[in-house]
Structure 1
Amino acid sequence: MGRTVLVTGGSSGIGRAVAARFAAAGDEVCLTGRRAEGVGRAAAELGVRGVVCDATDPVAVAALAAGLDRVDVLVNAAGGLPPEQVGEGVPPLVGLLAAWQANLAQNLLGAVLTTEAVRDLFVPGAAVISLGSLGAERRGGAYGAAKAALAAWNAALSAQLAPRGVTCNVIAAGYVEGTGFFGGPVPEERRRALIEETHTKRPGTVEDIAATAHFLASPGARHLTGQTLHVNGGAYTTR
């Protein structure tokens, strides 16, 4: 019998690729997203279950968890850059606060709420995988700070869940094409600069991240937990 895999933010981009990877392996996948049209289309195309759920809404997340019997793999892929928060006539500090709160909600608190909601459903051997970013290391602003907090939370979560046989890791992606992250086409000059930063001299793909997530949920990764894995073609290196 296949595993039960929950993928938040699974209607497009990296989340969709992750859902497709697990579904292709025969797992029972449930993907979520905020927009009914996108969720329905992705679920139908991949042959998986789709649930409309805003990961930052505790009521919606609780309802999502109530509809699950078990969770073998949780992939917290929901996140991204929130819409501009500054409107006409809004004091600068009010706009700044709103922008930071929106980034923290989308890129940290959604993962925290979802994980906590399904915490009691994790089976021995389960895996929690959260999507981080190279922006946590440099030039990330509010978005990067939220992703850095995600990695810190993951380390603490790993210590809590490891005695139950549950691993917890973060995939910190670099520049990945095939997503709506930038809200439109990336200017060619910037695209060239992002690729030039890598050792591999190519952009990342959603399949690169999906393959890493699939590995982290595999038997070969059972002693790998509490880590942030940088998948960026060498644009940022660790030692």
Structure 2
Amino acid sequence: MTRTVLVTGGSSGIGRAVAARFAADHCEVVLTGRHTDSVERTARELGVRGVVCDATDPARTAALAGQLAAVDVLVNAAGGLPAAAPDGAPPLESLLAEWSSSLSSNLLSAVLTTAAVRDRLTDGGTVISIGSIGAERRGGSYGAAKAALGAWSTSLSAELAPVGVTSNVISPGYVTGTDFFRGGMTGARHAALVQETHNLRPGTPEDIAETAFFLASSGARHITGQTLHVNGGAFTTR
């Protein structure tokens, strides 16, 4: 049976790789993003359905859910670094804007989307949210939002388990091939981040996509309420 997969933030980076992986398995993939041109281009290139939707907007998220009869896999990949505060803003207003942006894009986007499609999640389905190694180390407002994402996902797991749905977070380390750093990655920083890993290589969007594909497989039905760290050993758990 063909699965329906919804990927927020699916027009670039990790979200795009996730959408491509499920599309390769002949799933019915719906990807979302905020910008019409990138959503339409990516959907066309991958042969999937694209919907322009800001996952932090309750009305647009509800409208998106109304277009879906059922959701087998939800991947909350929308997020990123906070937007820059307006020039000349007072310090506390700048601080508030930064934290509001981080929480909105990295936490509330997942909360709202999941709530919107919750009654459409199928028995045997899964919710996957993309976290970050920043939740474990010097992540500022972004890391705090990703840490909150993990706490929320654990609570969600307990709520969804009785209806046969799992909920997990994938926490990537340094991943190349995305626009996450907005052009701010230097050669020295790249080398330092790679040196932190055990396998001496950066992650790729495909690494994260394959982990998401596994979590949505029949072999992962007893994995729920977890944060899976995919970082080449840059951050380890015991």
TM-score w.r.t. the length of structure 2 is 0.99
Residue 203 of structure 1: aligned partner: 202
Residue 24 of structure 1: aligned partner: 24
CA shift, 1:82, in A, is 2.4
Residue 70 of structure 2: aligned partner: 70
Secondary structure of 2:16's partner?
helix
Number of matched residues?
Answer: 238
Residue 36 of structure 2: aligned partner: 36
Q: Distance in 1 between matches of 2:21 and 2:159?
A: 28
Q: Distance in 1 between matches of 2:181 and 2:155?
A: 30
CA shift, 1:105, in A, is 0.1
Residue 120 of structure 2: aligned partner: 121
Residue 160 of structure 1: aligned partner: 159
Alignment of 1:48-59 (within 5 A): 48-59=48-59
Contact 1:75 1:130 in 2 (8 A): yes
Are 1:194 and 2:193 an aligned pair?
A: yes
Contact 1:86 1:96 in 2 (8 A): no
Are 1:236 and 2:235 an aligned pair?
A: yes
Residue 183 of structure 1: aligned partner: 182
Contact 1:129 1:168 in 2 (8 A): yes
Residue 3 of structure 1: aligned partner: 3
Secondary structure of 1:2's partner?
coil
Q: Encode CA deviations 1:11-70: one digit per residue, 9 max, x unaligned.
A: 000000000000000100000000000000000000000000000000000000000000
Q: Distance in 1 between matches of 2:207 and 2:199?
A: 13
Q: Distance in 2 between matches of 1:232 and 1:56?
A: 27
Q: Distance in 2 between matches of 1:18 and 1:2?
A: 17
Any unmatched runs of 5+ in structure 1? Answer: none
Q: Distance in 1 between matches of 2:120 and 2:70?
A: 5
CA shift, 1:185, in A, is 5.3
Identity of aligned residues (%): 69
Contact 2:82 2:99 in 1 (8 A): no
Residue 60 of structure 1: aligned partner: 60
Q: Distance in 2 between matches of 1:31 and 1:111?
A: 14
Q: Distance in 1 between matches of 2:87 and 2:104?
A: 19
Secondary structure of 2:78's partner?
coil
**Matching residue's letter, 1:107:** N
Q: Distance in 1 between matches of 2:86 and 2:175?
A: 27
Residue 106 of structure 2: aligned partner: 107
Contact 2:75 2:128 in 1 (8 A): yes
Moved over 3 A (4+): none
Residue 172 of structure 1: aligned partner: 171
CA shift, 1:83, in A, is 2.0
CA shift, 1:184, in A, is 1.2
Are 1:138 and 2:124 an aligned pair?
A: no
Any unmatched runs of 5+ in structure 2? Answer: none
CA shift, 1:2, in A, is 1.3
TM-score w.r.t. the length of structure 1 is 0.99
Secondary structure of 1:56's partner?
coil
